[in-house]
Structure formats: C-alpha cells, structure tokens
Amino acid sequence: NAGVTQTPKFQVLKTGQSMTLQCAQDMNHEYMSWYRQDPGMGLRLIHYSVGAGITDQGEVPNGYNVSRSTTEDFPLRLLSAAPSQTSVYFCASSTPSPYYGYTFGSGTRLTVV
C-alpha cells in the first residue's frame, strides 16, 4: 500500500542514548515533515523539508537533527535523548502540485527513561 511508513512503532531509550526514527514514503512527495504530539500541546512541527537536500527548522527543533538525501526518506535523529523527548512522533508528506493534502504515518511512540 502506498503511504508513509514509520519505524519503529515503539521505542524505549535511556537518557543520553541516540537513535534514528525512520520515515519513508513511496508517493514521490517533495514535502516531508516531522511532528511531535504531547498531551495538551497538540502537534508541533520539529523539522521539515521541501525536497532532497533542503531542510528547515520548525517550532521545536532543539535536540533533533534531520537530513534529506533522497526524495523517499526523511530520518529524524535524536542526538542525546532526554526525558522531555518522550512523545509520539509523526512523519507526514505532501506534494504541492497537484495538492491533495498531507498523508501521515502511523507514528512512533518514544519513551525516554
């Protein structure tokens, strides 16, 4: 099925560990973005990309790193995990033309202990 695939679905990290959340889409979408969802805070943009080789910061970028070497993949790296990064992470993709809105992955539930 075409769509946005996120791995892993669940992850527990210890404080200070690093890891990469994977996001891949097979729709040839130019736009990809990462959001985190926290109770009472809604979904907030972490980083986004408008094409391979182009990334930019969103509302809450600190502690996260991204790169976009291919159109299909947009991994999110946690450099040194902190308990404040415990959250549900969603990846999304879209294309500007024709525009059909954003498609979201099923999410990664991350717990940092």
Residues near other proteins (CB under 8 A) are 31, 33, 35, 40-45, 48, 50, 58, 90, 92, 96, 99-107
CB of 104 to other proteins, least distance (A): 4
Report the candidate in 64, 66, 67 with the shortest Cα–Cα distance to residue 79.
Answer: 64
CB of 24 to other proteins, least distance (A): 15
CB of 30 to other proteins, least distance (A): 9
Task: Please identify, using beta-carbon distances, which residue of 2 and 96 lies nearer to other proteins.
Answer: 96
CB of 78 to other proteins, least distance (A): 20
Task: Please identify, using beta-carbon distances, which residue of 82 and 88 lies nearer to other proteins.
Answer: 88
Task: Please identify, using beta-carbon distances, which residue of 77 and 102 lies nearer to other proteins.
Answer: 102
**Cα dist from 15 to 12, 90, 113, whole Å:** 10, 21, 6
Task: Please identify, using beta-carbon distances, which residue of 16 and 53 lies nearer to other proteins.
Answer: 53
DSSP string, 36-103: EEETTTEEEEEEEEEETTEEEE-SS-TTEEE--SSSSB--EEESS--GGG-EEEEEEEE-SSS----E
Rounded Cα distance between 31 and 19, Å, is 23
